[in-house]
Chain A
Amino acid sequence: MSRYKIHLLVCGGTGCHSSESNLVYEMLRDELERKGLEKDVQVIRTGCFGFCEKGPILKILPDNTFYTQVKPSDAKEIIDEHIIKGRRVYRLLYTDPETEEHVPDSKQMDFYKKQLRIALRNCGTIDPENIDESIARDAYQALGKALTEYTPSETIDLIKRSGLRGRGGAGFPTGLKWEIAAKNNADRKYVVCNADEGDPGAFMDRSILEGDPHSVLEAMAICGYCIGATKGLIYIRAEYPLAIKRLKIAIAQAQEYGLLGEHILGADFSFDVTLRYGAGAFVCGEETALIHSMEGKRGEPSNKPPFPAQSGYLGKPTNVNNVETLANIPAIILKGAEWFSSIGTERSKGTKVFALAGKINNVGLIEVPMGITLREIIYEIGGGVKNGKKFKAVQTGGPSGGCLTEKHLDTPIDYESLTAAGSMMGSGGMIVLDEDDCMVSVAKFYLGFIVDESCGKCAPCRIGNKRLHETLGKITAGKGTQDDIEKLRNLGSVIKDASLCGLGQTSPNPVLSTLDNFMEEYLEHVHDKKCRSGRCRDLLYYVISKEDCIGCMACKRVCPTHAISGEKKEAHVINQDVCIKCGACMEKCQFDAISLMNDYPRVSATAAQTITES
């Protein structure tokens, strides 16, 4: 790497890739070649920088210049100005939304200031398709250290002392999981990496696999050494073609270097990794379902015990870890358990990667120490709510999680505090909602997802969630009653208690947590037939503005149900009890006097009706 004077790092993550970062990469290379600079300036495609909102991202080293929304047509200017003349292209620099000043150095960006990157340590710095770059950043050193300096039980002890817990959602202590798998004797054992990231809006696992696949392979080998397994399997979603491609390259390169395969690093330890593909089933993120899917069966969960550590893939002891959990392992072994456990809160150590999405200014991937507050994440790192709207809630943990509201903004985030607040860590998706979002509709959206994804094996989840979804549909259509609200709560708690697997046990969370935090919205839908955000179409009303209506009678004539009353040259009124919301009046009105409102002047409407009737 040293012979290059300047490095251009182009983000090659899925987000930037979708907005033509590939073309930016090609154009930069072409332009350098044209100028004869290809020996001095290196262009590489990295993993995700996390700042997906303003992609494609181009970072220039050594001066840390951070260009955003780079288009292929900008390549020439960047080479001419920045590389040749040494002048930054100001229009492409990130602009601080508060000071409205250009921020030349990425270290000065609020987005990065509060982050601490352990799992994402190499994302956006290395070329994930080149193992040499990974090795230059200490890849496979931890494996070497474990193989030569520690026994398997010492390694497990180190992981236990670090306090690392599963990042896939439930937060089970990783070291303990390994210990259980290690203690179960069998002729064959398996290490499985769960890369079936099904939670919509969460993309940390994909970004790690795309940006730093070797960290996961290395951790799997370390796990294999600890529990006595020689075979590793990565169960990855088929929807992640880029991650699959890079994993395949990484596995081949590691095998070539002898870092996977027989007698790794000369030690008496052999380990190899193969890929298994998911096929679009959310429930396969559950470990027993995942194992069945890997065996070529329907991905239905089964009762625990037996736990996978006792009887998993092909009936053998199997250790299943999430991608992000694994990505932490090499760093812990190299830097020590004490270093890792010094970060975070008392019971949740280290960092967590969150995917920020929804109505937030800086959509992207962030890694922060446990114990950070929601306020810091949303307002400092996330840059606040989009378009200056009012913050309403943040949905954490995806379809299994719940929402946190303004009153939770200053709670330090860790596994326990999120559970106490009625949500969960989950995979780490954070969807920010603003005042324009209807919480009843959001709950309905998640239930719709669950109904689609429920495997159907157990009745509480299969039938119960369907009923929850129908009841929510009734409420958003303005046909709900007070009984329906009670039904939601009762049914929700039954589903929680009686479902077979983690999917069903957490599926009513979006409903229960919105009931807890936004009861007033449910009541408005049910009693006032009103949706304050205007999201529920059935609760919108055609209203004639008194000021704008000139009384031309066009709407009255076109109304199929004769819901409109009013004399010529006088403001007309729509009788909401008769209106069927066909919209014909609004289409006919030439004076823009008719609009859709989430409420209508009830008293005056009745009064107007009495007048016309009398």
Chain B
Amino acid sequence: MSQKINIAPEAFEYMEKVTGAGGVEVKVNLPKEKIEKINSICDAFGNDPGELINVLHEAQHAFGYIPAEIQDIVAHNLHMPVSQVYGVVTFYTFFSMTPKGEHPVSVCTGTACYVRGAERVLEEFRKELQLEVGETTPDGRFSLNCLRCVGACGLAPVVLVGEKVYGRVSPDGVKAIIEEYKK
């Protein structure tokens, strides 16, 4: 993480100057609309440092993930060092610095799912998608993650693909779930 990103401007479509705390100028390699979007999110929370987590939630909602460039702008708007933003982003599992796949697969590894065999389901997904936990397929179609308890313990083991919940998943059923999204 560096405060200034020194990449040749011509490499990017846009290279915007952001004026932050103490009038420091930083160059950020993001399209203009994106910068405006982040600015408007920060403004909506009054550029209050106490609202950092809410700002990051909104940013992740808008962009799908929170890359370093976005953290730069947030830090400047909220008048805090970018290290602090980075610290918060990496502390909470909800925030991600890498984009998720088009169909994010999340296997619940909460206790109830664990005792009902979630481990084997996860292993099957790893084998079928050829992914480790936290990775995205090269074509960007699938990503694999674990999560802790969605609270549908009666349906254990539970798998989420996007927002859709699959209950009582057995290792044998994994292939069929993936096939649904391959088309």
> Which residues of B have CB within 8 Å of A455?
91
Question: Within the complex, which residue of B53, B84, B109, B149 is in contact with A203, where a contact is CB–CB below 8 Å?
Answer: B149
> Which residues of B have CB within 8 Å of A293?
53
- Interface band, chain B: 35 or more
How far, in angstroms, from A298 to B151 measured CA to CA in the complex?
25
Stretch at the interface among B9-17, B36-44, B154-162: B154-162
> Which residues of B have CB within 8 Å of A276?
53-54
User: A19 at interface (Cβ–Cβ under 8 A)?
Assistant: yes
User: A488 at interface (Cβ–Cβ under 8 A)?
Assistant: no
- Please state if B147 and A239 are interface contacts (CB–CB under 8 Å): yes
How far, in angstroms, from A135 to B56 measured CA to CA in the complex?
36
- Please state if B148 and A203 are interface contacts (CB–CB under 8 Å): no
Number of A-B contacts (CB under 8 A): 125
Question: Within the complex, which residue of A15, A299, A431 is in contact with B151, where a contact is CB–CB below 8 Å?
Answer: A15
How far, in angstroms, from A357 to B157 measured CA to CA in the complex?
11
Question: Within the complex, which residue of B48, B94, B154, B165 is in contact with A363, where a contact is CB–CB below 8 Å?
Answer: B154
User: A151 at interface (Cβ–Cβ under 8 A)?
Assistant: no
Most chain A CB within a 10 A radius of its CB, from B54, B95, B155: B155
Known: A15-B153, A433-B115. Contact between A277 and B54, CB under 8 A? yes
User: A179 at interface (Cβ–Cβ under 8 A)?
Assistant: no
How far, in angstroms, from A203 to B149 measured CA to CA in the complex?
9
How does the 8 Å CB contact mask read for A199-233 relative to B, with 1 for contact and 0 for none? 11111001100000000000000000000000000
- Please state if A15 and B95 are interface contacts (CB–CB under 8 Å): no
How far, in angstroms, from A201 to B109 measured CA to CA in the complex?
10
- Please state if A280 and B111 are interface contacts (CB–CB under 8 Å): no
Which residue in chain B gives the minimum CB-CB distance to A386? B116
> Which residues of A have CB within 8 Å of B6?
none
For the A-B complex with A201-B111, A277-B57, A278-B92 known, give 8 more contacts whose Cβ atoms are closer than 8 Å: A201-B149, A279-B95, A280-B92, A282-B148, A296-B53, A296-B54, A359-B115, A364-B154
Question: Within the complex, which residue of A15, A299, A437, A449 is in contact with B91, where a contact is CB–CB below 8 Å?
Answer: A299
In the assembled complex, the CB of B163 is this many whole angstroms from the nearest CB of chain A, namely 9
User: B52 at interface (Cβ–Cβ under 8 A)?
Assistant: yes
Which residues of A line the B interface, CB within 8 A? Answer: 14-15, 18-19, 52-55, 198-203, 206-207, 238-240, 276-282, 293-299, 314, 355, 357-359, 363-364, 395, 398, 429, 431, 433, 437, 442, 445-446, 449, 455
Most chain A CB within a 10 A radius of its CB, from B87, B153, B156, B158: B153
In the assembled complex, the CB of B63 is this many whole angstroms from the nearest CB of chain A, namely 16
- Please state if A279 and B53 are interface contacts (CB–CB under 8 Å): yes
- Please state if A363 and B91 are interface contacts (CB–CB under 8 Å): no
> Which residues of A have CB within 8 Å of B50?
294-296, 314
Enumerate 17 A-B pairs (CB-CB under 8 Å) in ascending A order. Answer: A14-B151, A15-B155, A18-B155, A18-B158, A199-B149, A200-B109, A238-B94, A276-B54, A278-B94, A279-B93, A279-B94, A296-B49, A298-B87, A298-B91, A398-B111, A429-B111, A455-B91
> Which residues of A have CB within 8 Å of B147?
239
> Which residues of A have CB within 8 Å of B31?
none
Q: Which 9 pairs between the two chains have the least Cβ-Cβ distance?
A: A200-B110, A52-B154, A279-B92, A296-B52, A357-B112, A280-B94, A203-B151, A18-B165, A280-B93
In the assembled complex, the CB of B124 is this many whole angstroms from the nearest CB of chain A, namely 14
How far, in angstroms, from A568 to B132 measured CA to CA in the complex?
44
How far, in angstroms, from A195 to B69 measured CA to CA in the complex?
32
> Which residues of A have CB within 8 Å of B49?
296
How far, in angstroms, from A138 to B94 measured CA to CA in the complex?
38
In the assembled complex, the CB of B57 is this many whole angstroms from the nearest CB of chain A, namely 6
- Please state if A18 and B53 are interface contacts (CB–CB under 8 Å): no
Known: A15-B153, A52-B153, A296-B53. Contact between A359 and B116, CB under 8 A? yes
Which residue in chain A gives the minimum CB-CB distance to B87? A298
In the assembled complex, the CB of A513 is this many whole angstroms from the nearest CB of chain B, namely 15
In the assembled complex, the CB of A499 is this many whole angstroms from the nearest CB of chain B, namely 18
In the assembled complex, the CB of B159 is this many whole angstroms from the nearest CB of chain A, namely 11
User: B51 at interface (Cβ–Cβ under 8 A)?
Assistant: yes
